[in-house]
Amino acid sequence: MIRGYAGRVLEVDLAARTFAFRPLDEDTARLYLGGKGYGARLLYDMTPAGIDPLGPANPLIFATGPLNGSVAPQSNRFAVVCKSPLTGAIGNAACGGSFAYGLKRAGVDVLVVRNQSPSPIRLEIDGDRSQVAFIDASDLWGKGTGATQAVLGRKKHHAVIGPAGEHLVLFAGIVSNERIAARTGVGAVMGSKRLKAVTAGGSRRLEMDDERAFKEYTKWAGAMFRRHPVLGERLKRVGTSGIVSTTNPRNILPTRNFKYGHHPDALDVSGEFMADHALTGVKSSCIHCPVMCGRDVEIEGVGRVKGPEYETVALLGTNLDLPDLTRVSEWNHLADELGMDTISLGAVLGFAMELQERGLLDAGVRFGDPSGVSGLISDIAYRRGAGADLADGVRRMSEKYGGRPFAMHVKGLELSAYDPRGSYAQGVEYATSSRGGCHVQGASMYMESTGPLTINPHSLNLKADLPVVMQNLACAINSMVLCIFTTYGIVPRFIHEMNPNSPAHRALTAVFEHSGPLLRLAFGAKLAPLVWFEKWLTYITGERFTSGRLQEIGARIFNLERMYNLREGLTAADDTLPDRMLYEPTFPGMTSGHPLHLLLPRYYELRGWDRSGVPTARTLKRLQVRI
Amino acid sequence: MSITVELTYDMSKALGARSLEVEGAATVADVLRLTRARFGERAAEFERLTRVAALAVNGVLATHRRGLRTPVADGDRVTFVKAAAGG
């Protein structure tokens, strides 16, 4: 077995209450690494087209990668893969917390949960004894995610659902500690299996090829991260919600269901405001992470709760015309306890408010008015009243009530908090992402809208090239499995410290913007392991990982996911953006929306897809994607 | 001719206002100069805070247009922008 892997896939059948440990497939591990890549391969092979995502045939796959279980910073994430009940396409979500560590310590690389239990159940995986206990979970059914984990024991490693998952809310997530595998409704799939929680633990130690080199390098990398202006300073000080200070001035902060990209009072939910007014000083992190981007806030009437992240302050704050840190923190806490994705939640609430404004639906909520929101969030989780419709997501709501042009989703997944009209490459990523409107399947917005050196987001230069490279990299990172924040470390301090109004900065930006071929050449190079995740993979597995190899692995995963979606009946017509993004200008001087039609053909060409967006036989052969 | 200038959080704290109006600016450089003037004796603090803040006109970075020579018009919104990360 390749080093870095435990070498075992655990398959559990909830209907038969049986389990089996099977060997991890080494060839698949070499081709797809682990995490969402290995999970996608399993899902493709295990299921035929057209299965009911909430039926017994949909497996729920928890997958770790070769970096999990090491002490490499930001390396304790797991991926969850299944067919998405929200989109009908491939579903996946990544999560921090500590469950990945527990699973790897149990000697399990991948956990596959099949079928459905007739009654609430939980699993306890004892890796040392190679046993799985099927335990009645009737006493936990109905409990929140925090309460459930408290009952199960804070010192163990769990993945749990809340009431939203139990009630099959299509954007329910799976929670580990305070983190959530939020997107695409993986929690609803877990709920459909009546699986309340999985606990994993053991004393297996990760075997590395060159442990000494790994430790020495990790020591250096950890110190570098702690000194880095983003990883060591900004994220520690203001968390992810510090992004408000960038997205608002640049017109990409969702406001009133994405009608606008700017809110005059946005600073009231910024990370800086939070740091000054609400932080308790208690920080939290996923296990073994030095960045500690999580932080607790003290909110009057709510108590000490997890501080909301950027996506949450945007979607539950300005998007509802309610930039109120107290309310957002309260709703964030409520959504976490109920086990829901706050991105989709904010989007369905924003959509419901616009429907209300236009007289198309009366869900009892209005822009700028907090009354009724808490109650509606609970109603969504328990599928009560109007909440039952909102629990099905924006796409289904628009099919029932109208409002398709301002239904903010791609492929059924609600958009993240970066308006693509001010971030063209991000728009291409949204449109082409296998799981739909998501920002962490590439994160080009960092290179064009939120980072220290950004290309012109409104030109066409690099807007097809950048998404390809970034999506490939994100696929690889989500398969190691590493936190995508680790990539921020690539931008050196001197770039952060450059005067952004200086001629030198302008010149560097211009060079970057015209660097398409160079970008592909640099990322495709197979010279030597250079960046930390390449080095960690090399030291741990004993195989040589370069940027070029990771691009290849990422492209393979991306194309496999594409083939899964095509098999499910998706077409190039699904590679689109909401009409509001395509046709409504968002700032003075802008005459239309996102120019997707000008960028997609080039994107398809770079991907090796035909004009219908189908990977060519040559592309699949080159990438060794077996169909 | 009135331009609305939106400040970064740190600049707001220093000046005690989230935004201000400046008159008579024709370019981004003028806006910068007129905003600096509002800081009065705290000009050094203004310099420190603006060293790492880009400028955007109606959401578009000046650096992607004509830099500090980017023209501004009546009713424009000029904002100071801090680079960020995460999400």
Point out the domain boundary residue: A144, A179, A201. A201
**Model confidence pLDDT, tens digit, residues A144-181:** 999 999 999 988 899 999 999 999 999 999 999 999 99
Classify residue A229 by its DSSP letter.
I
Determine the Cα–Cα distance for residues A420 and A124; give it in Å rounded to an integer: 43
Q: Where are the domains of chain B?
A: 2-82
Chain B contact present for A511, CB below 8 A: no
Shared-domain flag, residues A132 and A26: yes
Residue A415 within any structural domain of the chain: no
Tell how strand A110-114 and strand A60-63 pair up: antiparallel
SS3 assignment, position A53: coil
A112 shares its domain with A16: yes
The class of domain B2-82 in CATH terms is alpha beta
Do residues A131 and A275 share a domain? Answer: no
Is A497's Cβ below 8 Å from some Cβ in B?
yes
**Which tokens belong to A482?**
């590493």
Choose, out of A74, A248, A311, A501, the residue to mutate when testing the contact with B (most B CBs < 10 Å). Answer: A501
Rounded to the nearest integer, the mean pLDDT of chain A is 95
pLDDT in tens, A516-570: 888 888 899 998 999 999 999 999 999 999 999 999 999 999 999 999 999 999 9
Q: What is the predicted pLDDT for the residue at A620?
A: 98
Interface contact B63-A230, CB threshold 8 A: no
Residue A10 has pLDDT above 70, yes or no: yes
Kindly tell me if the per-residue pLDDT of B85 is higher than 80: no
Residue A298 and residue A187 in one domain? no
Are residues A397 and A428 part of one domain? no
Q: Which residues of B touch A503 (CB under 8 A)?
A: 67
Is the ipTM higher than 0.85? The answer is: yes
The CATH number covering residue A15 comes to: 3.60.9.10
| Number of domains forming the structure of chain A | 3
Looking at the structure, tell me whether residues A370 and A444 fall in a common domain. Answer: no
Least Cα distance to A307 among A345, A336, A286 occurs for A336
Substitution target in A245, A277, A295 with the highest count of B β-carbons within 10 Å is A245
Please check whether residues A334 and A475 belong to one and the same domain: no
User: Do A392 and A427 share a domain, yes or no?
Assistant: no
Q: Tell me the three state secondary structure of residue A180.
A: strand
Q: Decide: A242 and A271 in contact? Cβ < 8 Å.
A: yes
Would residue A217 count as lying in a domain? no
The residue range of the domain holding A537 is: 420-622
In the sheet with A157-160, reading across from the earlier edge strand, the strands are A131-136, A121-126, A195-201, A157-160, A174-176, A179-181
Per-residue pLDDT reduced to its tens digit, A579-598: 999 999 987 778 889 999 99
Q: Are residues A316 and A167 in the same domain?
A: no
Tell me, yes or no, whether A502 lies in a domain: yes
Identify the domain boundary among A373, A402, A431: A402
| A310/B86 CB distance under 8 A | yes
pLDDT attached to residue B87: 60
Domain end: A147, A179, A201, which one?
Answer: A201
In a domain, A37, yes or no: yes
Q: Are residues A257 and A296 in the same domain?
A: yes
Nearest to B67 among A252, A450, A506 (CB): A506
Q: Verify that A571 and A521 share a domain, yes or no.
A: yes
